[in-house]
């Protein structure tokens, strides 16, 4: 794969780590990390079955989270094949169109105490 083909993945990877993890952890012996869960963006899970770079990111993030005892959520799971791979690879939680589309709370028939009456995007 040429450098031009890797540019979008490198940008996504940079955005993922800048928004989801600290810039540095000063004390490697510290047991309290400044985050308690990691979400794997759909830009990685979408192509994890057919792109080596996406699969490497997904498996590396899952290994890191497992080593740190941090819960993972894989977003954008749209096929049974993706789900099976992510389940086997160790994702704790998954979300995506395979399981349902985003639905407003009002359509779920749930009673939520003190729920705002304004729709939030």
Please report which confidence band the pLDDT of residue 1 belongs to, taking 50, 70 and 90 as the band edges.
very low
The predicted pLDDT at position 100 comes to 87
pLDDT in tens, 42-51: 999 999 999 9
> Strand runs (DSSP E) across 41-112, as ranges?
71-74, 93-94
- Can you say whether residue 112 is alpha, beta or left, with left for phi > 0 and alpha for psi between -120 and 50 degrees? beta
pLDDT in tens, 72-90: 999 999 999 999 999 999 9
pLDDT in tens, 3-36: 555 555 555 655 554 444 444 444 555 555 667 8
């Amino acid at each position: 794969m040429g450098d031009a083909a890797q540019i979008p993945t490198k940008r996504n990877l940079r955005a993922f780590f800048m928004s989801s993890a600290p810039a540095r952890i000063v004390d490697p012996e510290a047991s309290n990390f400044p985050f308690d869960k990691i979400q794997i963006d759909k830009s990685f899970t979408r192509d994890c079955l057919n792109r080596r770079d996406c699969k490497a990111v997904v498996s590396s993030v899952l290994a890191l989270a497992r080593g740190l005892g941090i819960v993972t959520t894989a977003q954008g799971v749209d096929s049974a094949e993706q789900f099976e791979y992510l389940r086997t690879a160790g994702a704790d939680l998954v979300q995506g169109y395979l399981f349902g589309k985003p639905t407003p709370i009002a359509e779920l028939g749930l009673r939520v105490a003190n729920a705002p009456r304004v729709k939030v995007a």
